[in-house]
Amino acid sequence: MCGIIGYIGSEDASPVLLKGLKNLEYRGYDSVGMATVCGSLRVAKGVGKINAAVQEMDLDNLEGSIGIGHTRWATHGSVSKVNAHPHLDCKDKIAIVHNGIIENYRELRTELESKGHKFASDTDSEVIAHLIEDYLESPEQRPASESRLGGCFEEACIDSFKRLKGSFAALAISEGEDRIVAVRKDSPLVLGLTDESVIFASDVSALLEWTKNVIYLQNYDVVVARKEGIRSYNLLEGEVSRAVNTVEWDMEQAKRGEFEHFMLKEIAEQADTVEKAIQQDESVINRIVEEVENGYGVFFVGCGSSYHACLAGSYLFSKLAGVHVNLARASEFENYEHFLTDKTLVFAISQSGETADILDAVKTAQKRRSKVIGITNVMGSSLTREGDDLLMMNSGPEICVLSTKTYTSQVVLMSLLACALAGKRESCIRRIKGLYLDIYNLTSKSMRGHLRDLAEELADKEHMYTIGRGLQYATAMEAALKIKEVSYIHTEAFAGGELKHGPLALIEKGTPVFVFVGKDNEDKIISNAQEVKARGGFIIGISGRNDPIFDYWIKVPESGYLNPIIQAIPMQILAYELAILKGLDPDMPRNLAKCVTVL
């Protein structure tokens, strides 16, 4: 959930840390803090988003070329300066930053308090600093460290890390030490290398300003970084060496450029990213098709927008290839464990590749020896290593907390796989390439103006609803999620046929209802819209042609089985315009973070 950064090199650490944290702010923006070593340990913290928080931080005091930083999304403990990272030991000589959840922190805290340790915060993270302190002060109580990496501080860190249960990416520094000690387990941590420095971050995008040469740390990896280089150790394997990878993204892709917000930039990029999503290795597609055909049972598993892409995919597999797909929200997937076999194929879909619920579902599938196909946008993420096969979304960095371009890329991949199963892969590729001009027009300034006018009519509404049938139902669900995420207007999606089974009770005069229309179910969904209209609802149609029942029409070209791609885009723009009209930050909606790394 949070963003962490670490630097050791020839420059002053604090400017690098601050830039890195700004690059990571989409991961958490409740509070921010940094610590550096220059003789003594120096710490500065603030509450709120970075630009506001730094106003109360003494950055001039943060001298030294070794440092760590953190931007927080609160899980344990309220939003406050005392709960902000970095966290310190009792003597204020050791500082740590941590992303993840320490599941056994209560047990560890009770043990440490019984030894006289005084805790300053309500967080689970603080136990790490006190554990390191305790092992340094009482070496006779430490288990014999197998690392022998050199130095009591390193061994105290390693022995402390071995005590932790849960998910964690953490960095530790200490007064009088010329190194950073890092660990990763079930929470992302990437290491960037330059000629003169080592930089840690919880996301590749934070490193692109300095380097494209990165090491993706694996579970239980510990890295000791000094100015002259790094040494690596794995808590389970002993000393290890990890490969250096070159990131294909560039810094310009991770910047807003001429756009006011990342959300708008990423919406506008979809004409290109949809086409990039089909650039897949044909042999991998053929292998997945063969596994579906020879397997017994297929599951699509996702969270949030990825789940809606899974829903669209389940309809596409049925309609185009006659293949039944079981659909599961990742957080509920464990309830299907008893149905899984070694012939079951599980598609795990996650933009970040680090979504905790998805990785938990993957473990459930692997426990039953089911095959796992990972679909993600981040090379080097946990999901890229956990699956039996892998498809990349190829969307480039997505910085806005809301998924836009990665959602449409996921639906593209679902369409491509369904068509490949039906023997129509090449025709699907041609049709998707043919969407370029339509998407370009949908993201134009004129469409934005049209949707801004609609947003002005809707911005004061408390409740809105979206309806659709079949593929349009999946789009209705994604549209409702986008609006509620960024504008905070309660928006709920229903299958059109379900209206008369309860939801019609919610309709009163002027209630906005978005109706997603596809050519294959036009008569039925228009009939549902008439039911709403009869109760005084305000009907907003999203379709290829205007219908007399619409009070407002959003023109979207009819695209058949590709409607879920094309119809989602104007709703992304509308959600953006609603946020702007309400004075909200569309890139950083309240209470949400981009990468959900805790269960």
Q: What's the pLDDT tens digit per position in 459-508?
A: 999 999 999 999 999 999 999 999 999 999 999 999 999 999 999 999 99
Find all residues with CB under 8 Å of 479, minimum gap 6, and list them. 466, 491, 493, 514, 516, 568, 571, 575
Q: 257-434 in CATH: which number?
A: 3.40.50.10490
Per-residue pLDDT band for 534 (boundaries 50, 70, 90) equals: very high
The predicted structure's pLDDT at residue 139: 60
Distance of alpha carbon 165 from alpha carbon 260, whole angstroms: 41
Are 556 and 164 a contacting pair, CB within 8 Å? no
| Lowest-confidence segment of 40-49, 167-176, 269-278 by average pLDDT | 40-49
Tell which residue, 225, 166, 172, 224, has the closest CA to residue 9: 225
pLDDT at 324: 96
What would the mean pLDDT of 302-321 be, rounded to a whole number? 97
Q: For 513, list phi and psi in degrees, rounded to 5.
A: -130, 120
Class at the top of the CATH hierarchy for domain 3-253: alpha beta
Query: Using one digit for the tens of pLDDT, what is the confidence trace for 363-378?
Result: 999 999 999 999 999 8
Report, as an integer, the average pLDDT of 517-532: 95
Average confidence score pLDDT of the chain: 91
Res. 148 pLDDT band, cuts 50 70 90: very low
pLDDT above 60 for 140: no
> What is residue 28's predicted lDDT score, i.e. its pLDDT?
64
- Looking at domain 441-585, its CATH superfamily turns out to be Glucose-6-phosphate isomerase like protein; domain 1 (3.40.50.10490)
Report H helices in 326-424. 356-367, 382-386, 405-421
Provide the angle, in degrees to the nearest 10, between the axes of the packed helices 425-433 and 270-277.
Answer: 170
Which residues have a Cβ under 8 Å from the Cβ of 228 and sit 6 or more positions away? none
Please give the pLDDT value at position 145: 47
pLDDT in tens, 345-366: 999 999 988 888 999 999 999 9
Range of lowest pLDDT (146-160, 270-284, 521-535): 146-160
> What integer pLDDT is reported at residue 540 of this predicted model?
98
Distance CA 272, CA 266 (A): 10
- Give 390-409 as a DSSP string: EEE-------SSS-SHHHHH
Kindly list the distances between the CA atom of residue 443 and the CA atoms of 266, 350, 439, in Å, as whole numbers in the listed order: 10, 25, 6
The single residue listed with the structure tokens 């992302």 is: 188
**Helix, coil or strand: residue 49:** coil
pLDDT at 241 over 70: yes
pLDDT score of 510 more than 50 = yes
pLDDT tens digits for range 187-228: 889 999 999 999 999 888 888 889 999 999 999 999 999 988
Can you tell me whether residue 190 is helix, strand or coil? strand
Burial 279-309 (b: 16+ CB within 10 A, else e): ebeeeebeebbebbeebebbbbbbbbbbbbb
The pLDDT of 147-171, averaged and rounded, is 84
Q: Which residues are marked as active site?
A: 2, 594
Residue 172, strand partner residues: 96, 181
Cα distance between residue 26 and residue 49, in whole Å: 10
Domains 257-434 and 441-585 share a fold: yes
- Position 581 scores a pLDDT of 97
Q: Flag whether pLDDT at 286 surpasses 90.
A: yes
Q: Is the pLDDT of residue 52 over 80?
A: no
Q: In the chain, where are the structural domains located? A: 3-253, 257-434, 441-585
Q: Where are the alpha helices (DSSP H) in 69-191?
A: 105-114, 126-137, 152-163
Band of residue 141 on the pLDDT scale cut at 50, 70, 90: low
The alpha helices in 73-150, defined as continuous H runs, are 105-114, 126-137
Query: Which positions ≥6 away from 258 have C-beta within 8 Å?
Result: none
Please report how the helices 304-321 and 405-421 are oriented relative to each other, as an axis angle in degrees rounded to 10: 20
On the 0-12 / 13-18 / 19+ scale of CB atoms within 10 A, 19 is: middle
Instruction: Round to whole Å and give the CA distance between 299 and 346.
Output: 5
- The C-alpha atoms of residue 195 and residue 207 are separated, in whole angstroms, by 14
How far is residue 82's CA from residue 480's CA, in Å, rounded to a whole number? 37
CA distance 381 to 493: 32
Of 193, 190, 173, the closest CA to residue 68 belongs to 173
Confidence of residue 596 (pLDDT cuts 50, 70, 90): low
Report if pTM > 0.75: yes
Would residue 214 be called left, alpha or beta, if left means φ above 0 and alpha means ψ between -120 and 50 degrees? beta
Q: Is the pLDDT of residue 30 over 90?
A: no
Residue 254: what pLDDT?
Answer: 67
Return the structure tokens found at 190. Answer: 């990437």
**Cα–Cα nearest to 402, from 277, 276, 330, 304:** 304
270, pLDDT greater than 90: yes
Model pLDDT for residues 380-434, shown as the tens digit of each residue: 888 988 889 999 999 998 989 899 999 999 999 999 999 999 999 999 999 999 9
- Asked if the peptide bond before residue 589 counts as cis, ω within 30 degrees of 0, the response is no
